[in-house]
Amino acid sequence: MIICQLAGFLGSGKTTLLIRLGTALGRAGRKVAIIVNEVGEVGVDGAVIESNGLRSVELTEGCICCSLSGSLQNTLRQITKEFAPDIIMIEPTGLALPGKVKQIVRTSMIGEDRTFTICLIDAYRATKLFAEAGAFLSRQVDGADVVAINKVDLVSADAKGQVESIVRGISSSIPIAFISAREGGGVDQLVKMLEDTL
Amino acid sequence: MNEENTKAAAHAGSYGMKLLFTSPGIEGGELADLIIGAVRSIGDEIGRRRKMLIGHVKVFISVPGGSLQVNMVDLDLGPEKNDRLPADKITEGEIRLMAAVVGLDDATLEQIIQNGLGPLRHKLEMDIMAHMHEH
C-alpha cells in the first residue's frame, strides 16, 4: 500500500487532479481510498469528488497537518484495517505543509510501503503567488517527491519555462511534470509514476 | 510536531457556509448565472481590498438530478463552472460555499461573502445550515 499526497496551494487544482488519478487507478483495478481535508469546516471538495463517482472521507473542523493530525492518523488506521486499499490518496488543505503530513503518516504505524507526494503549482498564477507567498509555497515544494506544474493549457511556452525556473530555484533535482488536470494532458505520466511505486 | 498553525503561517483567512434553498421553480441557467455572479462579486470585492485574489472562492450546489460547481482563483480568469444542472426547473437544493484567502482575516471574509450572497436572497429562500471559519 502506498500513500499519495496531493499537495499544493489554494486553487492549484488538487481536487481536479485527484479525480483524474483516482478514476484512472480505479479503472486499472486498484483499490483507491480518498481522504480530503479543507480549511474551514464546510467542505466543498468532498461533494465534488463524490459527484464524480468516487467515495471519500472528509476531515473537517481543522487542518490535518496541525489540529487534525490525530484524526488523520485514526482515519488512516481505520481505512487500512477495513478497506485494505492499494493506495490512499490524501488531499490536504491548500495551506498545509506536505512535509508535516508525511511525518504524521509515518507515525501512524499503518505499514505503508511509501508516501509519494505530488506538489501542484498553478502555472497561470505562479509568478504572482510566489511574489506574494513565496516562502510558504517553497516549503510546500520542498516536501514533495514530484512537482506537477498544472494549468499549462492556459500559459505560453515562455511562461512554462519561467515557472520551471522558479521551481528549479527551490530544488535543482526534483522531477517536474507539466500537466493540465482539467484537460487531462500529462496526467498519464503521474499515473505511471504511482503505478511504478505500487 | 504539529505546533505550527499553517493557516496563520500563510496569513490566511477562511469562511464557509452550507445552506439549503427552495424556490417556486428556477431554471438551471438562471441559477448558474446567480451563483457565478455571486462568486464574481465576492472575488471582485476581495480584489478591491487586496489588489489581487490569493486563494480561492468555490461553490458546489447539489439539486435533485444534478449539480453545479463554480470556482474562482484569479480575477482575470474569472469564475469557472462545471454545470450539470438538470433541464427541469429547480425547486430545492443545497449550497456549499467556501473561501480561503491570504491577507484577509476570517471576519472580513465572512462579511464579504454575506454581502456577495445578497442577490441570491431575492430569488431563493435560503436557510443557513452551518457557517464556519475555523482552521
Per-residue pLDDT tens over the stretch A85-103: 999 999 999 989 999 999 9
Report the pLDDT value the prediction gives residue B11, as an integer from 0 to 100: 83
Whole-number Å distance between alpha carbons of A75 and A59: 9
pLDDT tens for residues A39-70? Answer: 776 889 999 999 999 989 998 877 888 878 89
- Could you tell me if B53 and B101 are in contact, meaning their C-beta atoms sit under 8 angstroms apart? yes
* Structural domain includes residue B80: yes
* Structural domain includes residue B38: yes
pLDDT tens for residues A162-184? Answer: 999 999 999 999 999 999 999 99
CATH code linked to domain A2-197: 3.40.50.300
Q: Do A40 and B98 touch (CB under 8 A)?
A: yes
Which parts of chain B register pLDDT below 70?
1-4, 130-135
pLDDT tens for residues A8-19? Answer: 999 999 999 999
CB atoms within 10 A of CB A184: 13
CB contacts, 8 Å: A38 with chain B? 16, 98
Report the pLDDT value the prediction gives residue A180, as an integer from 0 to 100: 98
Enumerate the domain spans of chain A.
2-197
Report the pLDDT value the prediction gives residue A185, as an integer from 0 to 100: 97
Report the pLDDT value the prediction gives residue A67, as an integer from 0 to 100: 78
Give percent above pLDDT 90 in chain A. Answer: 87
Q: Do B2 and A97 touch (CB under 8 A)?
A: no
- Its domain, for residue B70, covers 13-124
If one counts the domains in chain B, the total is 1
Which residues of B make CB contacts under 8 Å with A? 1-2, 4-7, 9-12, 14-18, 52, 54-56, 58-60, 62, 67, 69, 71, 73-74, 77, 84, 96-98, 100-103, 130-135
- Local confidence band at A123 (pLDDT 50, 70, 90 cut-offs): very high
CA distance A143 to chain B (A): 14
pLDDT tens for residues B14-53? Answer: 999 999 999 999 999 999 999 999 999 999 999 999 877 8
Q: Do A66 and B6 touch (CB under 8 A)?
A: yes
Report the pLDDT value the prediction gives residue B3, as an integer from 0 to 100: 56
* Structural domain includes residue B133: no
- Could you tell me if A160 and A147 are in contact, meaning their C-beta atoms sit under 8 angstroms apart? no
Burial category of A4 from C-beta neighbours within 10 Å (exposed 0-12, middle 13-18, buried 19 and up):
buried
Whole-number Å distance between alpha carbons of B104 and A74: 32
Report the pLDDT value the prediction gives residue B133, as an integer from 0 to 100: 55
Q: Could you give the ipTM of this predicted complex?
A: 0.87
Q: Which residue of A has its CA nearest to B1?
A: A100
* Structural domain includes residue B117: yes
Report the pLDDT value the prediction gives residue B67, as an integer from 0 to 100: 97
